[in-house]
Structure 1
Amino acid sequence: MTQQQSLAVAYIDGDGIGPDVMPLVRGLVDLVLKRCYGDSQKISWQPLLLGEQAAKEGDGEWFPQATISALRELKVALKGPMSSAIGGGFRSLNIALREELDLFCNMRVIKTIPGLPSPLKNPDGIDLVVFRECSEDSFASIELAANSPDAGRLIEVLEQELGYHRLRFVDNCALAIKNCSQAATERLIKQAADYAISQRRKKITLVHKSNAWQLTEGQFQRWALDYLRKEYQLTVSDCQQHYLLPGAGGTEIQVEQMMLDQVMQRLPQQADSFDVMVCNNLAGDLIADLAASLVGGVGIIPSVNCNHELALFEPSHGPFRRIAGSGLANPCASVWAAVLMLEHLQLNAAASSLFAALTEVVASHEQLFQLDTRSSLEQGVPTKMVIAAIIKALPC
């Protein structure tokens, strides 16, 4: 008799269209597991409250500490889109989650699926993954308001104690701090390198803006290369133009460095030349959104916020309130996020089956476009119809 294994996984329905989509996606995952493994593999879904749902059903708190504690214990979660709490003390629930749980890495999977709209004449062959550092850089939430005492004190220290006189206008001047540390750089490059090796990827691109920020972006670049030399036996290629990293099964992974400017120019022209991209916070945000626009938009792209132990799988898009409750939300990004979650749980047969069904449905249903189009309500494709089509397309 096959022993049943039940994996405890948290779920957060989210805001806006989240409650419309996420229960259907969980049901889809359960069905795929049943078809692929019978009763030997199951997920025990653990409901957690966050955002609007938490405020309504709980004690009014948007960000319950009980949810944070449960996420630390469960390690894996399937999460819907979140909104920002107005006057809640933080700019974004996603940013708050990253900070509280130290989810230093945001991973975006950008891949061509036939049938999705693209501004490119030939979008075939795009298959890249963006690793974005989320704990530092200009998104680190260290901002000082114009005319505030703190801003005034910092300007005074810069000028009088450190001798910096580069600020042309110090009156009514807001400030933000851009930080970059060796520890944050090394843990991000480890996450990316381990992924590239395990997934048999062919290239890693270190993205930087060292011509403008030599002591932060330039140091990010140097620390990353030093870490790869020390921990992964990085060597210089024979042509001296890039580096080589030992991969799986005797293969080699090319490691290159590229300025952010060049990346932004090359992405729309040669997106298929990129593979694994490693970026600081702001650059990663820009690159991921630009790359997503080439393969259907953020409405189709999944996202993972993670560290070395904990991973939250979710769609890249927001709550899309305009169609909440209409039953017309496109669930494809959340389904793809579920695929990545199944891969993370090493349920590879289920992951492959679900992704094969998703790609077949997208390729055969021209109505399915990204969520950020203005004509979503006119398309009239019910969420349940999309889920039903995916179920019908399941190969097992």
Structure 2
Amino acid sequence: MSYDYDEVEVPADGEQITADDDGSLNVPETPIIPIIHGDGIGQDVGPVAQRVLDAAAEATGRSVEWMRVYAGSSAREKYDENLPDDTVEAIKEFHVAIKGPLTTPVGAGFRSLNVALRKKLDLYANVRPTYHLDGVPSPVKDPDAMDMVFFRENTEDVYAGIEWEAGTDEVQQVREFVEDEMGFDDVMHENPLGIGIKPISEFGAKRLVRESIDYALENDRDSVTLVHKGNIMKFTEGAFRDWGYEVAKEEYGEDVITEDTLWDQYEGEQPEGSLVVKDRIADNMLQQILTRTSDYDVIATMNLNGDYISDAAGAQIGGLGIAPGANFGETRCLAEPVHGSAPKHAGKDKANPTAMILSGRLMFEYMGWDDAGQLIGDAVEEAISSKQVTYDLERQIEGGEKLAASEFADAVVENIEELA
């Protein structure tokens, strides 16, 4: 350990995950993993998910030494700030971590802590596997057709937070520059007017697309789809598309072909072992995930598009309460559920911990613990398919057994022990 922590207790037992120069991780059998329980329902789902992950690790001959770190309300209590250096440095040093939801005010207050963590740690790919679990109620006829993995660029786009508030001197300076220097006076309305900037870089686009293609090849996926609104935003989202195709064509040889090549040279019959890279306009893609769900596999897109489209896909498999996620960087992973902090349900032991548990599964898979990850997925699905569910699903399932969050975790742990 090299960093001197103020309020974080590093476990005496356990070993540190390390990384080699080639980007590979060295994961011991007893890793130290930082955990942020989170705000609101994080206090409920964090500890119970931790218990499930412990059971899966133990069932596969391993153990996790958890290291509590803090952000949001828990950090304000200990540090009088929202995101202390201790937390950022712990995730940097130990490479792999998991967090619960953190509250972000709407329209005022501090900026998103989720975004701040991603930027400070350069966690450039927000990864959301979206798949249906047997027994989960869904609003679509065939939820099993949904099996997509979303790679959402995490550091750029309008989420970069480069914006100026209406009525300020700063926004007036930007407005004058845009109108007088750049000649866009025909699109600027009278005050009050807020202005934001949408940065999309070649570097950010290419590394995101590269990450998505590598994932698709490693996991035997059939396609990667670049989702954009390049027909309108030609020099940002259109550039993302173009840079994505450049990566596919210049870096992967014959293993990767474009959709044009698929039809021009192979008459639409995909060669065995190949990966097809294609693109779709974002608004059309929101339709296609409903009408042609099985045509899509891995999705690579920018920050805002990725947020909208992955949430829409999550609705098809039962909602955000069961949707896992993680943020990947160079030898770093911060797993997190897709849902928010739902403060009105905090401390009631009722919130569905499935998304947090399955985010832990994704973290284990990042560590190379695929067997433990599979156990978690199977055990969660067994509980839900047998109608042992939390309140949000029980009210939609005839004959369901309503469990508290902690009781649901008990059922999943019992299934892990039986399946192991």
3-state SS of 2:357 partner: helix
In structure 1, C-alpha distance between the alignment counterparts of 2:29 and 2:142, rounded to whole Å = 44
Q: Which amino acid aligns with 2:384?
A: V
CA RMSD in angstroms comes to: 2.7
Matches for 1:1-396 after TM superposition, within 5 Å: 5-37=29-61, 41-56=62-77, 58-84=78-104, 90-233=110-253, 234-236=256-258, 237-240=261-264, 251-365=273-387, 367-368=389-390, 380-394=402-416, 395-396=419-420
**C-alpha distance in structure 1 between counterparts of 2:148 and 2:211, whole Å:** 15
Partner SS for 1:132: strand
Displacement of 1:158: 1.8
2:257, 2:275 within 8 Å by CA — same for their partners in 1?
Answer: no
Q: TM-score, normalised by structure 2?
A: 0.85
CA distance in 1, matches of 2:284, 2:108: 39
C-alpha distance after superposition, 1:116-155 (max 9, x if no partner): 1211122122100111112111211111112222221122
Distance 1:268 1:160 in 2: 45
Q: 1:218 to 1:290 in 2, by over 3 A?
A: same
- Mapped to 1, the partners of 2:314 and 2:391 lie a distance apart of 13
2:91 and 2:36 map into 1 onto residues whose CA distance is: 10
Query: For the Cα contact (< 8 Å) 1:9–1:43, is it kept in 2?
Result: yes
For residue 69 of structure 1, give the secondary structure of its aligned residue in structure 2.
helix
Change in Cα spacing, 1:235 to 1:349, as seen in structure 2 (3 Å) is: closer
Secondary structure at the aligned position of 1:179 is classed as coil
Instruction: Say if 1:243 and 1:279 are closer, same or farther in 2 by CA, change over 3 A.
Output: farther
**Partner-residue secondary structure (3-state), 1:239:** helix
Deviation at 1:188, TM superposition (A): 0.4
Unaligned runs of 5+ in 1: none
Distance change (3 Å), C-alpha of 1:240 and 1:262: farther
Aligned CA distance change for structure 1 residues 84 and 340 (closer, same or farther; 3 Å): same
Closer, same or farther in 2 for the Cα pair 1:274/1:87, shift >3 Å?
closer
Per-residue Cα deviation, 1:186-226 (whole angstroms, up to 9, x for no partner): 11011111111111111110001111111111111001111
Q: Any conservation in 1 of the 2:125–2:327 contact (CA below 8 Å)?
A: yes
Superposed displacement of residue 91, structure 1: 2.0
SS at match of 2:320: coil
Contact 2:41 2:343 in 1 (8 A): yes
What are the superposed Cα offsets for residues 156-213 of structure 1, whole Å, 9 maximum, x if unpaired?
A: 1222222222324143221111111100001101111111111111111000111111
State the AA in 2 paired with 1:104. Answer: Y
CA drift at 1:325: 1.4
- Report the CA distance between 1:240 and its aligned residue: 3.3
Residue type at the aligned position of 2:155: S
In the alignment, residue 189 of structure 2 is paired with which amino acid?
F
TM-score by length of 1: 0.90
State the 1:380 CA deviation: 4.6
**Residue 65 of structure 2: SS of its match in structure 1?**
strand
Deviation of residue 369 (structure 1)? 6.5
